[in-house]
Amino acid sequence: MAPDTVSLRYFLVLAEELNFTRAAARIGVAQPALSARMRRLEAELGTALLVRSTRSVVLTAAGAALAESAPPALAALDRAWDAARSAANGGPGTLRIGYSLSTGAGTTPALVDRLVRGSGGLRVGAVPMATPEISLAVADGRIDAGITRGEQPGPGVSRFLLRRARVGVQLAEHHPLAEHPEIEIADAAAYPLRLPDRAANPVVHDQLSALFRDARPHPRFRTPAVSFDLSQRDLRDGVTLAPAGEASAAVQPAGLTWRPLRGAPGLTIHLVLPREQSPLHRRVRAVAGALAHELHWLAG
């Protein structure tokens, strides 16, 4: 028989703290009770999970494996309980979506609006997240779905192409290159290029910087002090350009414009769902697919 989920949850707290006193305080139980539950968990599994000493707690190989594999399993179980409770209450439940800020210009609001309007009573909560965290959060159940720019790596999830977008540059309206309907990559590379910190989205950062890999002279990349400055102050100097997807054209501050880069491969936006999907997840995928078709998000 599988161990009870309470013991597993207690073990995960202990695996993070590696200290019985701190773990017991965090859980809100007495330390002897926590120790007894861990001994019972080890007996049920038939293997040691912890190496205890007077000063420290260390995970065994089995303990480390359980600490890695238990969170997704518990998250899936929580979703099953939530689905059962929702069905019993006659309601469609709550959908938690994490999205990268760069998808907030049009993609995420459109999908959330369609989900809310098309699923009577469904409560949707969408929150911006750091892009590299979204797939991890979907996998461990902190959120139900994610929307990311670029195909973000990470185990335990399925990714579905939601949108393709042309790549171009943001620039001041009075910039000399703004006179052209399209801009050559080599011409753009002659100016300072602003790219957000790579940590914000390594996949897209590398894709955008690779566009200029063969340009001569080598482009001068700048990292802004403020990663998401909606006023785009650093572009108003009339010199700096910012490689960006086509969605930027819809949210231009006054004085700025966007022009496509000729021959540049497009950026992609993906819907991220758990590998094991509930009826609600399948509903989200169906709505997203219908919306992408209706709005021609995958054209080109």
Tokens found for residue 221: 């990349």
CATH 1.10.10.10 location in the chain? 5-77
pLDDT for 90? 42
Can you give the pLDDT at residue 92? 53
The tens digit of pLDDT for each residue in 195-222 reads 888 888 888 888 888 888 888 878 888 8
Enclosing H/E stretch for 195: none
CA dihedral 146, 148, 154, 157 (to 10 degrees): 40
Unique residue bearing structure tokens 């139980």: 29
| Burial classification of residue 84, based on how many CB atoms lie within 10 Å of its CB (0-12 exposed, 13-18 middle, 19 or more buried) | exposed
115 vs 283: CA distance, rounded Å: 9
pLDDT at 102: 81
CATH number of 5-77: 1.10.10.10
- CA separation for the pair 285, 275 (Å, rounded): 12
HSE-CB at 83 with a 13 A cutoff on CA atoms is: 12
Q: Alpha-carbon distance 111 to 70, whole Å?
A: 31
State the residue for tokens 């022009």: 259
Peptide bond into 274 cis (omega under 30): no
What pLDDT is attached to residue 87? 55
Place domain 167-265 in its CATH homologous superfamily: Periplasmic binding protein-like II (3.40.190.10)
In sequence order, what DSSP letters do the residues of 125-143 get, joined into one string? Answer: EEEE--HHHHHHHHHTTSS
- Tens-binned pLDDT, residue by residue, of the chain (300 aa): 556 788 999 999 999 999 999 899 988 889 999 999 999 999 999 999 999 887 778 999 999 999 999 888 888 887 777 666 665 544 456 889 999 888 887 899 999 999 888 766 678 889 999 898 999 999 988 999 999 988 888 888 999 999 998 899 989 998 999 999 999 999 999 988 888 888 888 888 888 888 888 888 788 888 776 666 655 777 877 788 888 888 776 667 788 889 999 988 888 999 999 988 888 888 899 999 999 999 999 875
Residues of the chain with CATH 3.40.190.10: 92-164+268-294, 167-265
Task: List, in order, residues 6 or more apart from 4 with CB less than 8 Å away.
Answer: none
**74: buried, middle or exposed (CB in 10 Å: 19+, 13-18, 0-12)?**
middle
pLDDT confidence of residue 227: 61
Q: What is the pLDDT of residue 133?
A: 92
Tell if the pTM clears 0.75, that is, is over it.
no
Per the rule left: phi > 0, alpha: psi between -120 and 50, beta: everything else, 46 is left
Strand extents, DSSP E, the chain? 50-52, 57-59, 94-99, 123-128, 145-149, 157-165, 167-172, 193-194, 221-222, 242-245, 256-260, 267-274
CATH of 92-164+268-294, one of 3.90.650.10, 1.10.3720.10, 3.40.190.10, 3.40.50.150: 3.40.190.10
Paired sense of beta strands 145-149 and 94-99, if any:
parallel
